[in-house]
Amino acid sequence: KISTMGNNPADNLRMLELIRRSEKPMVGICMGDVGTPTRILAGKFGAPFTYATFHHERVLAPGQLSFQQMNEIYHYDRINADTEVYGVVADPIGHTLSPLIHNTAFRHFDLNKVYVPFRVPREDLSRFIDLTGRLDIRGLSVTIPHKEEVVKKLTEADAAVAGIGSANTVVFDGKKRLGYNTDYRAAMESLEAALGGRDEALQKLRGKTALVLGAGGLGKAVAYGLIRRGMNVVVADGDSQQALLLAKRFDCRSIEWSLRQSLSPDLLFNCTPIGMHPNVDETPFEKHILRPTTIVFDAVYNPENTLLVKEARGRNCLTITGVEMFVRQACRQIKLFTGRDGPADLMRETIRRAIGAAKY
């Protein structure tokens, strides 16, 4: 057994390839949350076993997963040399529930695939993408803070990525790196479903004012979609320069974050992590400004009923939660990863059960 601290994603590859080359049975682990993939993928590279703790509240080493997580989420006992690797790339990574619902979908279809959390610091993204082939990674979900930077590493991109300037999905096909933006379509589909369908939604949204909170990768995708549906979009972000750049790109307005509540929008769309677990007592917008006719869409999915959503319902607003958008974008990713439609009802049930069990 060899254990080292994982300082960057390349350390994981070195450890896993060391396992593969070893003449004697070897267990190799990179500790820390950067090194968690070595624990999950050890069997694929030839380790006879790996290490887990008996309970997630009794972690014995940094980055260690529980026996239950290894079996029920990652299905470690089914991982072998032929297992195809997918994953989510982010920093931080601990908040994501993407491995839970993607691995649920893979098991539903009885596919020899595993979906792994990769913590990749911003400065390591380019090198990580270059190493994906050696890790046998076939596809990635991309989230904070990499949605915009990853576009530079793509060889091809769909029209949405080209228009938005950010990608949340990468599929690897030989030397090709194909980029997609499932956030955009999932957000618009969720909004249209809540308003009675695409045609009715277009009638209700056209010419109205939307306030988009957050000018990152998700904010860009949402602003792009709302402008295409005829809305007058105003963007606010804690980084005023980022909001200005988004407004310039899409020819819309931006306002200072401190002035966001001077507006009374027809649609309020929160694309920030404000209100996400564990900071469940925070809200990005004061309830007294909300009108009963305001549509409130919160992209935060954990918890589903954020403080913003609760207060909006208290004002008789139509609300749309992040769970619906999260499931829809994940279903689109499953389609890209497997060629099959994602099992939406199963994925929705799985995510709600997981966040409902959380202790707030």
Q: What is the pLDDT of residues 45-68, one digit of tens each?
A: 999 999 999 877 776 777 889 999
The catalytic residue positions are: 147
Average pLDDT over residues 288-301: 96
**What confidence tier does 290 reach under pLDDT thresholds 50, 70, 90?**
very high
User: Rounded to whole angstroms, how far apart are CA atoms 356 and 360?
Assistant: 10
For residue 137, the tally of other CB atoms under 10 A from its CB is 21
- Residue 296 pairs in a beta bridge with 268, 319
Q: What is the pLDDT of residues 319-332, one digit of tens each?
A: 999 999 999 999 99
Provide the terminal-to-terminal Cα distance of the chain, rounded to the nearest Å: 38
User: Rounded to whole angstroms, how far apart are CA atoms 164 and 142?
Assistant: 15
Q: What is the pLDDT of residue 359?
A: 41
Average pLDDT over residues 337-358: 92
User: Torsion over CA of 208, 213, 216 and 222, rounded to 10 degrees?
Assistant: -30
Q: Is the pLDDT of residue 357 over 60?
A: no
- Residue 206 pairs in a beta bridge with none
Q: Is the pLDDT of residue 295 over 50?
A: yes
The full set of domains in the chain, from first to last, is 1-67 (no CATH), 184-324 (3.40.50.720)
Which residue type sits at 46?
A: G
Using DSSP's 3-state secondary structure scheme, residue 151 falls into: helix
Q: What is the pLDDT of residues 249-285, one digit of tens each?
A: 999 999 999 999 999 999 999 999 999 999 999 999 9
Q: What are phi and psi of 43, to 5 degrees?
A: -65, -35
Contacts of 338 (CB under 8 A, 6+ apart): 105, 106, 109, 111, 113
Q: What is the pLDDT of residues 207-242, one digit of tens each?
A: 999 999 999 999 999 999 999 999 999 999 999 999
Q: What is the pLDDT of residues 62-93, one digit of tens each?
A: 788 999 999 999 999 999 999 999 999 999 99
Query: Which of 117, 128, 61 is CA-nearest to residue 93?
Result: 117
